[in-house]
Amino acid sequence: MALKLFNTLTRSIQEFAPLDPQKKKVGMYCCGPTVYDFAHIGNWRTFVFADLVRRTLEFSGYDVKHVMNITDVEDKIIKRVREQKTSLREFTGKFETAFLDDLKVLGCREPHVKPRATGHIAEIIALIEKLVVRGVAYQAADGSVYFSIGKYRGCGCHYGQLLKLNLDEMRAGERVASDEYEKESIADFALWKAYVPDDGEVTWDSPWGKGRPGWHIECSAMSIKALGETFDLHLGGEDLKFPHHEDEIAQSEGATGKPFVKHWLHGAHLLVEGKKMSKSLGNFFTLRDLQAKGFTGREVRYLLLTAHYRETFNFTLEGLHGAKTALSRIDECVGKLRDIAGNATAAPDSNLVQQFSAALADDLNVSAAWASVFEWVRETNKCIADNTLSIPAAASALAAWEKVDSVLGVGVKTEAEVPAEISALAEARMAAKKSKDFQRADAIREELKAKGWVIEDTPKGIKLKKI
């Protein structure tokens, strides 16, 4: 089934078709983290969304090259390095490691290429040089090099491809040096920032003197290097449409004269308890904060994957409790299927797989995808309860779950390791049952429950589960 996705560039849902003439290889770039702090749950929504896109493409048979940069030099980073009197690498390294660890906890597939901006200064300089040669960039009196929106538009190029910008209200010659700016100040933006004492030791030599790159040019240089001058997919959170992505398009197309990206995908923002996340409101969560509250990565992933990527999502702790319950329904069903199937294998049951793929192909309709999973859980449980599920049917159902989980990535809860004391109690209960001392067996069952374990008698023996 053809995969359809909303393209921000055309503001419409389009059939996805890779640039590769063999229609097999797909190049995908997702703007990565700015490593100046731990990523928050809003950032994670965007990265889990990128993982869903990648997994869906792989599920559809494409060979994806997934690139995610690490922004390890920009204004906010420099400010913190200065305040904390540390070195750039020491500061960013800590948050980069934490980010990559959290990415794993959330079950995201690791991007194939993870370029750091500081590792691409030569490519960044070369790209700026091209823009200067083409006459769309200039060095200003402050020593910095800026992108000229006027010159770019003068060449017939289109600035404002991702969203409507009121360019006629723009004042000619206005410039903006900071990496982040508002729509009201559409202006020439910095490609290379001339050294100022506040930059401390964060500086590189360039044809325009000492300085450092602007944030936007970093992504153009790294994506072109990894994926070529024109590639298939570019992703990010919706806040990046302007100025970041608009500037990426201008820099890339301004330098190469070729279309930069065929398909732009943007994820909507996450709110917490209906409000924008902020430290002062006390609703600011990192993944680590949620883990400290006893939630797992797969529960957070599940919750983030329940909403459509183009809809604002309201994150609540109650929702996370709901995620726990929903996942335990799946775990229980899959656990029973494993017991019945044993070592048997079979081709995946096509019913679930077909419904699930149709939902995803429809612009990643995750609500319909989850609905197909829970309908399958309900029907499977019914067959198990009626004792009508054969061993091959159980194996086929399991194979179908594994196939859909290659996209969902929530897996199945691994059984917690059983402590020796609990196993000893379980054995004592077995012995009590054998000697028909049912009172003692029941007492041990209660004791186990008090210690947080339930014991189940299955045809294959006893099973211990953590409550």
The number of CA neighbours under 13 Å toward the Cβ of 375 is 11
Residue ranges of alpha helices (H) inside 40-161 are 41-59, 75-83, 88-105, 121-133, 149-154
Could you give the CA distance from residue 128 to residue 208 in angstroms, rounded to a whole number?
Answer: 10
Which one of Zn ion, ligand AMP, none is in contact with 251 (Cβ closer than 5 to 8 A by kind)?
none
Least CB distance from residue 71 to ligand AMP, whole Å? 6
Is 31 near Zn ion (CB under 5 A)? yes
Q: How many whole angstroms separate alpha carbon 341 and alpha carbon 318? A: 35
219 makes contact, choosing from Zn ion, ligand AMP, none, with CB < 5 to 8 Å by partner type, with: Zn ion
Residue appearing with tokens 């200003």: 140
Angstrom CA distances, 445 to 2, 179, 214, 416, 459, stand at: 53, 62, 64, 18, 18
Minimum distance from CB of 43 to ligand AMP (Å)? 4
Task: Give the residue with the Cβ less far from ligand AMP, 276 or 321.
Answer: 276
- For tokens 């990648």, the residue is 54
**Least separation in angstroms between CB 421 and Zn ion:** 52
Contact 217, 127 (CB under 8 A): yes
Q: Which of Zn ion, ligand AMP, none has residue 43 at its interface (CB below 5 to 8 Å by kind)? A: ligand AMP
Asked if 17 and 62 count as a contact pair (C-beta separation under 8 A), the reply is no
| Residue 33 interacts with, from Zn ion, ligand AMP, none (CB under 5-8 Å by kind) | ligand AMP
Query: CB-wise, 71 or 372, nearer to ligand AMP?
Result: 71
Residue nearest to ligand AMP (CB): 237
Contact 15, 3 (CB under 8 A): yes
Q: Which of 222, 149, 141 is nearest to 181 (CA)?
A: 149
Instruction: Check binding of 3 to Zn ion (CB under 5 A).
Output: no
Region of 61 (left: φ > 0; alpha: ψ -120 to 50; beta: rest) is: left
Q: What is the C-alpha to C-alpha distance for residues 449 and 313, in angstroms, rounded to an integer?
A: 37
CB nearer ligand AMP, residue 310 or residue 329: 310
Minimum distance, C-beta of residue 389 to ligand AMP, in the bound complex (Å): 41
**Placement of tokens 């301004």 in the chain:** 254
Nearest approach in angstroms of CB 272 to ligand AMP is 8
Nearer to Zn ion, 239 or 437 (CB): 239
At its nearest, how many Å lie between ligand AMP and the CB of residue 326?
Answer: 22
Nearer to ligand AMP, 127 or 270 (CB): 270
- Residue nearer to ligand AMP on the CB measure, 3 or 268: 268
Instruction: Please give the structure tokens belonging to residue 320.
Output: 């996370």
Q: How far is the CB of 52 from ligand AMP (least distance, A)?
A: 13
**Partner interacting with residue 341 (select from Zn ion, ligand AMP, none; CB below 5-8 Å by kind):** none
Q: Residue 18 or 33: which CB sits closer to ligand AMP? A: 33
The four Cα atoms 421, 422, 426, 431 give a dihedral, to 10 degrees, of 10
Minimum distance of ligand AMP from residue 96's CB (angstroms): 11
Q: Which of the listed partners (ligand AMP, Zn ion, none) does 237 bind, with a CB threshold of 5 to 8 Å by partner kind?
A: ligand AMP
List C-alpha distances in Å: 246 to 68, 163, 315. Answer: 18, 8, 29
Check if the beta carbon of residue 194 is closer than 8 Å to that of residue 209. Answer: yes
Q: Which residue among 73, 124, 219, 340 contacts Zn ion (CB under 5 A)?
A: 219
Nearest CB to Zn ion, comparing residues 7 and 251: 251
* Closer residue to Zn ion (CB): 107 or 237: 237
SS3 212: strand
Q: How far apart are CA 355 and CA 230, in angstroms?
A: 34
User: Which option in Zn ion, ligand AMP, none does residue 412 bind, with CB closer than 5 to 8 A by kind?
Assistant: none
Binding site for ligand AMP (CB under 6 A): 31, 33-34, 42-43, 45-46, 71, 236-237, 239-240, 269-270, 277
Residue 188 CB, shortest distance to Zn ion, in Å, is 19
Instruction: In the chain, count H helices and then E strands.
Output: 15, 15
Q: Please choose which of ligand AMP, Zn ion, none residue 98 contacts, taking the beta carbon within 5 to 8 angstroms, the exact cut-off set by kind.
A: none
Point out which residues bind Zn ion (CB under 5 A). 31, 219
